Structure 1
């Protein structure tokens, strides 16, 4: 076991260690050949055995990208790390080490065999990405709860499991429990699970399995419902109309307004409030539906742009390839001719002609790139114009400044109408409040109101201040939501167009840089012949 090596000097998996291990594992004649080589290409190594080397830390494996099998057993490793680049690994042995936690395995999606036996790990966890796992050896660790073992049920391809030596393996009916909850398992603790054992396990845990199945189904349905809800909310957010498909804005207007709550005890105000809410919700829902429709239009326009883009670029690439292929064929012939020339003056003339051809190639490629840039600028400009028109129409529809003739049937002034509704509601409530103040002053109030409401109407200034404050707050909420919508949609438009322009500028610079590098290479090639 690993503790036998503690008296040795701990080492790391450095290049020298890796290469030494490769040489030692190779056949003798091959090893001798490798030893004489200047270096070993670690990227081509498929199997690596590093057992019994007193390794303390896993490191320097980023070059071993072709590795499929890695044996690090019987060392003094404390932490699973340094394996991120080993995306082709199918076999990993870390048994007989000092590991205390399962971690660092996220990138090993192809892993089929994992051996973590004889470590100090109390919990089976952090293996979600190992979907291809078929063999898991975890003997002589510290797992003490059967429920923790159920974590492995997600691995549908797991057919061999070894938990012997863990405290959990000492529990009553351990074998039947595993056989019941892992129906696809063929081998447990190095012993074959026969059909008799599996049937006995199913009978014993029938009700528990049914309950788990029901709970799992409910959890799945809840997760799917949550996912649908999140997707729907994301759609609303992308359309800039989140929380406009109901009474959210209306309720937000009256939130944290205790004086308004007192006014609502008046029967006439309660009726007004109900009508006000109905009208506000109707306006918001209309804007919400317009927003979703406009989002689809914008999305279609953006998709149309990228469709045009995807046609323009391949056409350019094809023409550039044809120009290069034609040039390279003739250039190769010219180079061969130059190689056979011995007269300096004639060679000089021919090299000048070759340089002229290179200049012509450069001009042709630059002209072709200019044409592509111009074409892309045109479709970007068209996208900018179309998206800007859509944004203006939707923003002004929401604000109430767009011509009524066009959006007459589509809530042509949502937030403006909301403000009108609030003004009308406030004016009517003010009239009711004044009448109520007069009744209270004359002691002619017939309504049975709570004491704090009745007390409110003994002071006219307090009532008027409450109404004014409430009115200002309500309009502020409407204005804030309007500003949020308009600001976000305009920011989205600017970010979209600028992002596309920046990307195309970067691509154009890369193409031009590539052209110049190729020209330099061709000219250097000619200089070597002189």
Structure 2
């Protein structure tokens, strides 16, 4: 293992002064460099940064380099990979010749293609799952000791160059053969191209083990894809505010948090009654689920239609405005050329006055066109807001109606359960109840108040669950509509301000040219 550099020198951290100096050293030279130094360098514009041989102990303060693609941190004394999360555009990273013991802190670097951890103290290849674009990986001169750990690299489908030279694992006589078998797409290993003959022998030697592994990978991939599809479907249901309503989830949750329900189900006739209740309750939930999905599609279609109309109006307006401005600029050039050929002062002033009037008319024309668009979009937005409000109101109204049916079922079940409970109490008091029930259930029947309170407590929990689910749906639907409409209005205000500013800037430009022309003629 190569000795660490700067062991006797005071360690550094990456601070503003170091970064500024590094950027200046690596930036443009001569006149361009002096200009950049005077005006200041924006770290966001830096694409490559060298911080090697600086005795750095801790990575820090790189968050401003959001567009960095290449970073050199080699030949320092860094012990921990950290503070790189903002460097999402990084393609090339060199952390070789440091004191790193664990691979970590690289999860955000999803665009990384070339990674060097050469000459560190790493014992395990791990925590690189997000680096799916990785093509070149150098981790030689570390402490990796097991062949099995190298199988981890199979998940990097673009990996073509791998350097492990100098690790204890390389001393295994089966090292090269193992790599060739388990990483079939690898081209270069430890600075040498893998020979086809080596691959063929490796395939034969590890054929059965690899086939078994591939089967496991296929099963795992299928499971992963199924989970992803399930999650995608759940997100779709959440967007419609009806997640988990396509089954017994709401009903089951009512009883999961109800300690009395498990006792009351031992009463005669209650299990059968509960089955009937659940069947009807779940059917209502499934109706709500299907209705919610249909209404979601209607809302989404309305949003798509609105933006189609909006973009069509904007495009028509842009085309009209562009044509008006282009026609004027053409006329503008001819007018200036004509004015320059006139020698009589009075006639020049007259022409300049006419041209100034034309600019004023152009401004009025463009502003009128913009105001027409504002009025048009105001009507479109009003219609959209009304349609969205109607869709959400209809959805909420019908959702409340279905939830009311759930409450009716719960109330009916509660009445029946209370009737059975009181009848059971009367039988127990008269010693006419012969059925076996657990002791904790029998304790409910000490008197009427106890059993009534238990049944009512169970009922209250169920109603609260139904009410909360209903409120959740209403709140989310109203919040979505409110947020959407606010965004539409905000975007229109911003668009209008930008357009007015754009028009004014164009008019100012024309006036400035005219004033310059006037001065020249004087």
TM-score, length basis structure 1: 0.82
Change (3 A) 1:247 1:132: closer
- More deviation in 519-528 or 358-367? 519-528
SS of equivalent residue, structure 2 residue 269: helix
Does residue 1:471 correspond to 2:472, yes or no? no
- More deviation in 321-330 or 476-485? 476-485
Per-residue CA distance 1:222-255 (angstroms, 9 max, x = gap): 1111111111111111111112112222222233
Counting matched residue pairs gives 503
- Deviation, 1:123, is 4.3
| Residues 269 and 429, structure 1, Cα contact 8 Å, conserved in 2 | yes
- Deviation, 1:443, is 0.8
Tell me the residue number matched to 1:488: 476
Distance 1:389 1:83 in 2: 44
- Deviation, 1:39, is 4.7
Distance 1:190 1:308 in 2: 60
| Residues 97 and 118, structure 2, Cα contact 8 Å, conserved in 1 | yes
| Residues 96 and 119, structure 1, Cα contact 8 Å, conserved in 2 | yes
Q: 1:74-473 counterparts in 2 under 5 A?
A: 87=89, 95-96=96-97, 109=111, 111=113, 113-125=114-126, 127=128, 131-339=132-340, 345-400=346-401, 414-473=402-461
Change (3 A) 1:326 1:159: same
Distance 2:135 2:339 in 1: 63
Change (3 A) 1:442 1:18: closer
| Residues 109 and 129, structure 1, Cα contact 8 Å, conserved in 2 | no
| Residues 5 and 77, structure 2, Cα contact 8 Å, conserved in 1 | no
Distance 2:66 2:262 in 1: 70
Distance 2:211 2:250 in 1: 45
SS of equivalent residue, structure 1 residue 136: strand
RMSD: 3.7
Distance 1:476 1:521 in 2: 66
| Residues 120 and 142, structure 1, Cα contact 8 Å, conserved in 2 | yes
> Which of 449, 469, 492 is the aligned partner of 1:504?
492
SS of equivalent residue, structure 2 residue 137: strand
- Deviation, 1:182, is 0.9
Change (3 A) 1:353 1:483: same
| Residues 136 and 159, structure 2, Cα contact 8 Å, conserved in 1 | yes
Distance 2:251 2:85 in 1: 55
Per-residue CA distance 1:444-465 (angstroms, 9 max, x = gap): 1132322333332231111112
| Residues 84 and 104, structure 1, Cα contact 8 Å, conserved in 2 | no
| Residues 13 and 60, structure 1, Cα contact 8 Å, conserved in 2 | no
| Residues 2 and 76, structure 1, Cα contact 8 Å, conserved in 2 | no
Change (3 A) 1:230 1:82: closer
Distance 2:154 2:384 in 1: 50
Q: Which runs of 5+ in 1 are unaligned?
A: 24-33, 401-413
| Residues 414 and 455, structure 2, Cα contact 8 Å, conserved in 1 | yes
Per-residue CA distance 1:48-67 (angstroms, 9 max, x = gap): 89698657589999899798
Distance 1:374 1:197 in 2: 74
- Deviation, 1:480, is 1.9
| Residues 241 and 477, structure 2, Cα contact 8 Å, conserved in 1 | yes
TM-score, length basis structure 2: 0.83
Per-residue CA distance 1:408-441 (angstroms, 9 max, x = gap): xxxxxx1222222222222222222222222111
Distance 1:352 1:488 in 2: 60
SS of equivalent residue, structure 1 residue 267: coil
- Deviation, 1:291, is 0.8
Distance 2:432 2:381 in 1: 72
Distance 1:256 1:164 in 2: 59
- Deviation, 1:17, is 5.6
SS of equivalent residue, structure 2 residue 260: helix
Distance 2:225 2:135 in 1: 28
Per-residue CA distance 1:464-504 (angstroms, 9 max, x = gap): 12222222332222222222212221221111111111111
Q: Which runs of 5+ in 2 are unaligned?
A: none
- More deviation in 48-57 or 447-456? 48-57
Change (3 A) 1:346 1:288: same
- More deviation in 275-284 or 147-156? 147-156
Distance 1:229 1:48 in 2: 41
SS of equivalent residue, structure 2 residue 284: helix
SS of equivalent residue, structure 1 residue 493: helix
